[in-house]
Amino acid sequence: MLTVVLMHSPFLGPSSMRPLADELASDGMAVLLVDLQMRINEAPVHQRLIGAFADALEDAGVGGTLVLVGHSGAGPLLPCFADALEMDVAGLVFLDSDLPTPGRSWRETVDPALVNKVKASVRDGKLPRWDRWFDSDPLKLVPAGLREEMRDEAPEVPWEFLKEQRPSVEWSGACGYVQLSPVYDDAAARATELGWPVERLESHHLAAATSPSAVAAALKAVISTL
């Protein structure tokens, strides 16, 4: 049996992926939405995230074959999540995310202007919630009820998380990519160059919350080829 394991961005909470999880489940797929919220408030964040992920799957009693799906900031950590499991992982799917950069930190891989802006807003070692990183509120795209749930869940992540080097874990198995927004044009292009199955939607970064049926269809198309 195949189980799709969904991981939300470390800068958001599980509600950002719950509509997608519900859509996949309604189509008869086995789905596990992992809640990593309580493991991203203290450094070392990567170590805590990976441990919490492995514990969550063990507690859920998931068996059979897994496909791991990581949205946004969870994407680059997918090889680490897979490496932490003693289960059969058939493939990794990057959902509107950067590709893995083992041994490099977040701040080494993004626009320096964003790094400087975020760093200037750090208070008591914590970042502001993700929706406050930008001049325009990205959550305005989400319907009101879900928007407030996502806003409430968004953690104040330690600045140290963005400075921590990502674990040097390699993955040689199958991979796929689902692009939701133009921000990830380069990542999707690189995935195509690598020969991965790639699906592109003309949408936005939070489409898993607002257009779950379209995202689910794209995700299933990629998974079917892994």
Query: Alpha-carbon distance 48 to 17, whole Å?
Result: 21
| pLDDT in the model for residue 39 | 61
Query: Alpha-carbon distance 114 to 85, whole Å?
Result: 33
Q: Domain tally for the chain? A: 1
SS3 labels along the chain:
CEEEEEECCCCCCHHHCHHHHHHHHHCCCEEEEECCHHHCCCCCHHHHHHHHHHHHHHHHCCCCEEEEEEEHHHHHHHHHHHHCCCCEEEEEEEECCCCCCCCCCHHHCCCHHHHHHHHHCCECCECCCHHHCCCCCHHHHCCHHHHHHHHHHCCCCEHHHHHCCCCCCCCCCEEEEEECCHHHHHHHHHHHHCCCCEEECCCCCCHHHHCHHHHHHHHHHHHCCC
CA distances from 69 to 75, 78, 88, 145, 186 (A): 7, 8, 14, 25, 19
> What percent of the chain has a predicted confidence (pLDDT) above 70?
98
Per-residue confidence band for 5, with pLDDT thresholds at 50, 70 and 90 = very high
Mean pLDDT of 129-152: 92
Measured in degrees and rounded to the nearest 5, phi and psi for residue 196 equal -80, 155
Domain of residue 173, residue span: 2-223
The per-residue pLDDT for range 164-199, each reduced to its tens digit, is: 998 888 899 999 999 999 999 999 999 999 999 999
Cβ atoms < 10 Å from Cβ of 112: 9
CATH number, domain containing residue 121: 3.40.50.1820
Instruction: Output the average pLDDT for the chain.
Output: 92
| pLDDT in the model for residue 38 | 62
Q: Taking a C-beta distance cutoff of 8 angstroms, is the pair 1, 65 a contact?
A: yes
Question: pTM for this structure?
Answer: 0.94
